[in-house]
Structure 1
């Protein structure tokens, strides 16, 4: 699955108890106080069957893995990773059925994610094994990623979920919209562009590209083809381009021809459909135009919709259908999707909010926006509401309440206060999505069963009884809307998602002009007019269509039970799906939080000049203890540092411990003064998250006590007295930023603050206070940023001890010894903007997505109290950055800086300074 958020450190209240299903294949860990036993049983049973049925197509090795079920997040996701070796399933089912299907969410995760586990289990061989011995699990992950492209990892997993279920993304029309829209619009991008994406054009992700490649390879060359290819690749047979070499070896076809034929296999089906008006519109757009979604009629000539683009974040707009003119209402709060409902002058939608303390808890709250006044109110708090619909009178709202683990209930809530007026019974344990008021007594909703079948139903508000409006099937159904006694919706139909209506139980299909687009969604009708969003290669495009009695074509509801479209892939027809099985019983035992608490998994090199560090790093599966043993060499002062650190996040606040010894430290201006340092630290960290509304906000407070020893060495031993003292160290950091669009270099508005204070508590005197801040503002154009920086540092003049210095000097003045000055401040002005979007690459090694520049001016003032002396360091210049991807996967930004020094002669520096700006975190930390 696509990883929205990396693993969360800490994240659970300490009161959380954990259970486990533990056998020789997996350790399945889940909160004990939630009803997750049935889901856990199905996951365990599914994985054991996959170990027998599909393992032979990738290898023969099984290594035990830990899987943690995360039921308290509103995000639908999952991942498998090394460092440490584990997987985490985010158990919130998605509302829309079109992208990820209707297979029970936990079952779909087991099918997909366990394929990644099988991959990792069988890719530790050859040079990949050497990388594992040298650098641990993270070294193996890097070697595997370098040898085997990301499209294979995800394409192979999507193929498994399709092969072993009755649905899977490989059978969903929506999954192929991306590529079919490119083909129909005649947008023929290079292979490297398809692999790396673009900041200005719509490019499908590697899941879709990978599925086509994997499915074609398996169909043409047999079930064992990819096992042989990846075996060679993971071993780095041939060293350079091992994956391409292996494909040529086992298919007798060069890599370029293979990938072209794989794409053409699927493209032939799109070519048979032909072009259409909307695709022709997309073909005329130079780049991605933007998305226009969920349009709903306000009156005969106006609709309200959500618009977004690569330059602008989602916002509500009013559109005059006659003129096409848009009027902006308001930026949409942070949300997991753009779904909303409009009636009687009110918009209601669900927005994302984070829990203040616990990273694995977040919420989906209801927002009501008055279109006339543009005032918005949050009517629920700490809730899990999705896909709300507001009643015609604007007084009540129906929404799907999803409790941890995925159990869904329809709630009727008061539109003004958010108070729950009615909880509709759900005796069949259906999963509801996208409900719409039908009349005073009933609600229309798409529903899914515990086996994955889905349909459209009418739900009685009083007793929860349901009336099936369509036959149960594996065809995705969703986006219902009600206009009088007519129910409209979108459903999978052969290769497309198409528009339908139900009137008096008679089913009709709406043929769109020239079979508009690759998929059509979110139909809204008003009298004899309709608007809907068509999927295109330039974004979701709003289409207006006049309706008449002849517009709708009667169809048989039984057609919904026909098999899903499979692109004539014989393997999908021959294999048997793994059924959902929650009846099997497994022994459930208590999982101790202290199990394998200290879990070293990788040896990690890290370069951040002047520091060169090599660390042994560890983290337990529950993400509550991070440990590190490290050795660091500083090239400026030539000292060596050996240390051990740990942070424990099982409680709040986090507990921080550290011990370090620094050898051969010396002052740059007094090279004969040498010493060793020992430092022991005990501290607390208070991380808070306030994400919600239109801004992401984080606040971190930390403080600690340090025992410090200074032991002079060599010739200094007899000249200076050793020191031993305690000092306190406290810091606060705060960040706030608006949402960002794809092309934004920085947020249109943001604030970053950091302040740190250190003071000696015993024996000696000394302190240092550093404060820095950045303000991010919009520039002249949507992708431009004005960034203002400031910093201030003050320290004592007693020189009993000098704390390490982190003051940000004016750019260009490298190597200036200034840390002894008691008072310093700096201001900087930056203007960032893009120059071009090359979208070109070299040899599948490096791909250039964007070239951007920054013009800057820095002013630094150093004050010395004796004689009120001042030194100024002024510089102006420009930076050019290259946003790239290496080996079609790793994003790396690097740059070149030119600084014109206005005060360089005072320091013996030339006026013109050039620097190469290295990636901040190329090797990861």
Structure 2
């Protein structure tokens, strides 16, 4: 019961740490800052990020005044770190430590997040999270802060306020205070509109927790609708009052639901349904169409067909993926519907690609070998006929490449740190840069396509967020705007002869439009009335495109004739409403304009500032070890520190210690000191002793994520000073000892990409090898190696996992190192100090049993129940007696993959083991509860 209690109490803590990356910057990186009473914006020197930093600071200061009344007026200073070297578009705000990080790479797809300048959009959204945290340290949440620090506050806030509110409220702010924001984009509502059109009726807990077999929209979309409805129906103070009660835990149980009932005079169930109905009402009048009828017929998520492009009259190439299959290139016969697989797509940030004359070109992700905050986007070219693929650029930041009609050149968007974009013309064979297209107006380009040999059509965005389709001359960079600049999102251009087809945001649906000799037409798509249509490709009066459905992106084919083209004036195009739903509350406030010229002083940010920063105290369980730690981390994430107390339930010893790892250099520097009390060895003769250990070490982490595999390799080693002080009766029998020993280890992991339903990767390898050797006046060594190989099972969601371990140690008896050797499941722990040679092999077959999609009381939700059949064999050899022991066991495990409080993924299970070699005094049938395997990792 104590373990279960700690499990429940500690659930919310660790999810906030997932976005952070330790170390990650070259030691030579210098940092500047804009520092005032309310914010510190930290950014690398020499990259021209002063404008972005200025706008972030100015936007935050305005928001702190203008939107505080709707959440609370408490303000605590936060540090925001601008990260310009990654190709990922993201950001977060976190406690533990209190900080935010903005990843400065703008997204290529404008339909996802719009065309508002990227850092400005991040400031609008992420600062709302800052405002939330600032005003949620009240009542019992404040008590949790005093008891456990910043992680404790995160725990309490996460338990009191659902994640849909956190993100929905932030999306509402970005929509309210900009001329765009996701609440003004029709793409943002595709998810729920597709469910409503296909008559998919899911329970509230399923909408909250998702599913491993059905498409369920995320909490951003659910949250926005709930928050917007609450603001519209009950006024701008509604959510301030609700969250104030909730974080205080007024009513203790279900405080958020109680607060909604208190301030809306409706039950929580009625409120949330009314909010969904408020947005659903406009969909009810659309009726059925072929796309929604297809989605209705799919029992579960069918899969995504993306970016289809014609090869000949009957064949298209596309990317397919599903909850059982990772993205791969396929050829589809349009007549028969049969697919033939080409090969797996390399690790990529999206599934976009281009095709011409037998060759596919796309951008793939690659990690930097040493620096976690630096990664790349490289161009890969694949021959459809042979399946051979080449990487033609290295350490580049290229996006959305397109190959020319003659196959000799490639155009790609190159994005520099901080977001400055240009078009590069590359040699299709070597990847060498042939030409950098001038960009004097500093446009941001999206998805360029060759229009002629000397002209590229592309979506362009200005620094203020307006966009249009344009022709760009690749010789001099001159731009011909094909439509007036507006905030109506356009993207995904395609070219056939003199026709340019693209998708543009509509009122409630993203529409297909075409420019024929610069005359604008809307392409009629009667197959899909309710959601967006994308990725058009035409060939000989036939067209294909993808439609968003509740069962995945669905490939649609239609014939082309004059009736498909409806003329549209440029004026009508730019005046089309950009807000899918008429929400009067969005018209109250004026948007915050971009502000990059305010005279903020810029100064040097010293890396050593607040280096030792203890922020939380945390319980941690890794049976048999029970630990309570005081943990620290600085804002730049270069020093992690810990003071801890540990109790080991196997040997009944206590341990206190301190550790630190410094990652601003390479290799990382590790330090540690620990005192262990009351160790025992119960073999004859009985021994009791205390230990003191100090360690100085180095760690060399490397990352090789590229192609089709994720790979990590780490070397570490150190020198240790160790003291053994015997206690009680042993003090008179044995002399105290002190000695030095070194330790060295290597870890390696490699795995393929994993689809949603796959329990483990279809192929993977993990290896740990560690050696410890006394180097002074005593004798003693230990070598432990363990490994696992992940192989495909009979079905795509099955996995065969073969594990092995080997340990060798001396038998002199001067000193025995602690052991982590895994004994066959079901057998009790054995005293391994006198066993010099041990090995183990295990066979595991993992498979899903059922996907319940069932929850209890908004507390726990069961996503999947899965099984594992296993067989373990352990061999222990004793040299002196020339004897051996064999431990053989078989059995099964049942795991429950769950979500707690609608947010935190937890897997736990039950194990039955049958001892095939029975031990005297032990029942051969053993049952165990398997503690959460993914909860307490550090």
Give TM class, smaller chain.
Answer: over 0.9
Match of 1:511 in 2: 524
Whole-Å separation in 2 of the counterparts to 1:560 and 1:455: 11
Match of 1:57 in 2: 70
- Contact 1:278/1:517 (<8 A) preserved: no
Alignment deviations for residues 646-693 of structure 1 (CA, whole Å, 9 cap, x no partner) = 000000000000011011111133584111100000000000000000
SS in structure 2 of the partner of residue 310 of structure 1: coil
Are residue 625 (structure 1) and residue 639 (structure 2) matched?
A: yes
Are residue 385 (structure 1) and residue 421 (structure 2) matched?
A: no
Match of 1:828 in 2: 842
Match of 1:466 in 2: 479
Match of 2:9 in 1: none
- Can you give the 5+ residue segments of structure 2 that lack an aligned partner in the other structure? 1-14
Alignment deviations for residues 525-552 of structure 1 (CA, whole Å, 9 cap, x no partner) = 0120000000000000000010012211
SS in structure 2 of the partner of residue 40 of structure 1: helix
Are residue 308 (structure 1) and residue 321 (structure 2) matched?
A: yes
Per the TM alignment, residue 565 of structure 1 is displaced from its structure 2 partner at its CA by 2.0
Q: How does 1:220-619 map to 2 (within 5 A)?
A: 220-562=233-575, 563-619=577-633
Higher mean displacement: 221-230 or 510-519: 510-519
SS in structure 2 of the partner of residue 892 of structure 1: strand
Q: Which of 209, 232, 256 is the aligned partner of 1:196?
A: 209
- Contact 1:3/1:78 (<8 A) preserved: no
Match of 2:190 in 1: 177
- Contact 1:784/1:833 (<8 A) preserved: yes
Per the TM alignment, residue 276 of structure 1 is displaced from its structure 2 partner at its CA by 1.0
SS in structure 2 of the partner of residue 67 of structure 1: strand
Per the TM alignment, residue 476 of structure 1 is displaced from its structure 2 partner at its CA by 1.1
- Contact 1:3/1:77 (<8 A) preserved: no
Match of 2:873 in 1: 859
Aligned in 2, Cα 1:517/1:525: closer, same or farther, shift over 3 Å? farther
Match of 2:124 in 1: 111
Whole-Å separation in 1 of the counterparts to 2:573 and 2:130: 35
Match of 2:20 in 1: 7
Aligned in 2, Cα 1:4/1:370: closer, same or farther, shift over 3 Å? farther
- Contact 2:758/2:798 (<8 A) preserved: yes
Whole-Å separation in 1 of the counterparts to 2:383 and 2:456: 24
Q: How does 1:650-665 map to 2 (within 5 A)?
A: 650-665=664-679
Q: Which of 216, 224, 241 is the aligned partner of 1:211?
A: 224
- Contact 1:608/1:921 (<8 A) preserved: no
- Contact 2:409/2:428 (<8 A) preserved: yes
Alignment deviations for residues 821-867 of structure 1 (CA, whole Å, 9 cap, x no partner) = 10000000000000000000011011000000000000000001124
Whole-Å separation in 1 of the counterparts to 2:408 and 2:240: 59
Are residue 711 (structure 1) and residue 725 (structure 2) matched?
A: yes
Whole-Å separation in 2 of the counterparts to 1:819 and 1:304: 61
SS in structure 2 of the partner of residue 204 of structure 1: coil
Are residue 683 (structure 1) and residue 693 (structure 2) matched?
A: no
Are residue 750 (structure 1) and residue 764 (structure 2) matched?
A: yes
Q: How does 1:896-915 map to 2 (within 5 A)?
A: 896-905=910-919, 907-915=920-928
Per the TM alignment, residue 819 of structure 1 is displaced from its structure 2 partner at its CA by 3.8
SS in structure 2 of the partner of residue 270 of structure 1: helix
- Contact 1:445/1:457 (<8 A) preserved: yes
- Contact 1:100/1:168 (<8 A) preserved: yes
Alignment deviations for residues 527-580 of structure 1 (CA, whole Å, 9 cap, x no partner) = 200000000000000000100122111111212322312412101112100001
Whole-Å separation in 2 of the counterparts to 1:229 and 1:4: 27
- Contact 1:516/1:534 (<8 A) preserved: no
Are residue 97 (structure 1) and residue 110 (structure 2) matched?
A: yes
- Contact 1:30/1:69 (<8 A) preserved: yes
Whole-Å separation in 2 of the counterparts to 1:568 and 1:426: 38
SS in structure 1 of the partner of residue 562 of structure 2: coil
Aligned in 2, Cα 1:514/1:295: closer, same or farther, shift over 3 Å? closer
Aligned in 2, Cα 1:581/1:307: closer, same or farther, shift over 3 Å? same
Higher mean displacement: 555-564 or 572-581: 555-564
Match of 2:4 in 1: none
Per the TM alignment, residue 493 of structure 1 is displaced from its structure 2 partner at its CA by 1.3
Match of 1:724 in 2: 738
Aligned in 2, Cα 1:653/1:862: closer, same or farther, shift over 3 Å? same
Whole-Å separation in 1 of the counterparts to 2:326 and 2:222: 27
Give TM-score scaled by structure 1 length: 0.99
Per the TM alignment, residue 465 of structure 1 is displaced from its structure 2 partner at its CA by 1.0
Match of 1:872 in 2: 886
Per the TM alignment, residue 814 of structure 1 is displaced from its structure 2 partner at its CA by 2.1
Per the TM alignment, residue 516 of structure 1 is displaced from its structure 2 partner at its CA by 4.4
Match of 1:739 in 2: 753
Alignment deviations for residues 628-659 of structure 1 (CA, whole Å, 9 cap, x no partner) = 00000111111110101000000000000001
- Contact 2:214/2:551 (<8 A) preserved: yes
Alignment deviations for residues 182-223 of structure 1 (CA, whole Å, 9 cap, x no partner) = 000000000000000000000000000000000000000000
Whole-Å separation in 2 of the counterparts to 1:422 and 1:599: 48
- Contact 2:360/2:381 (<8 A) preserved: yes
Higher mean displacement: 597-606 or 911-920: 911-920
Whole-Å separation in 1 of the counterparts to 2:623 and 2:88: 37
Give TM-score scaled by structure 2 length: 0.98
Per the TM alignment, residue 740 of structure 1 is displaced from its structure 2 partner at its CA by 0.3
Higher mean displacement: 13-22 or 907-916: 907-916
Per the TM alignment, residue 514 of structure 1 is displaced from its structure 2 partner at its CA by 4.2
Match of 2:176 in 1: 163
Higher mean displacement: 98-107 or 557-566: 557-566
Aligned in 2, Cα 1:431/1:120: closer, same or farther, shift over 3 Å? same
Aligned in 2, Cα 1:671/1:248: closer, same or farther, shift over 3 Å? farther
- Contact 1:863/1:869 (<8 A) preserved: yes
Whole-Å separation in 2 of the counterparts to 1:787 and 1:484: 53
SS in structure 1 of the partner of residue 394 of structure 2: coil
Per the TM alignment, residue 306 of structure 1 is displaced from its structure 2 partner at its CA by 0.2
- Can you give the 5+ residue segments of structure 1 that lack an aligned partner in the other structure? none
Alignment deviations for residues 87-109 of structure 1 (CA, whole Å, 9 cap, x no partner) = 00000000010011100000000
Higher mean displacement: 558-567 or 800-809: 558-567
Match of 2:804 in 1: 790
Q: How does 1:810-825 map to 2 (within 5 A)?
A: 810-825=824-839
Per the TM alignment, residue 590 of structure 1 is displaced from its structure 2 partner at its CA by 0.1
- Contact 1:517/1:534 (<8 A) preserved: no
Whole-Å separation in 2 of the counterparts to 1:4 and 1:97: 28
Aligned in 2, Cα 1:161/1:368: closer, same or farther, shift over 3 Å? same
Aligned in 2, Cα 1:433/1:535: closer, same or farther, shift over 3 Å? same
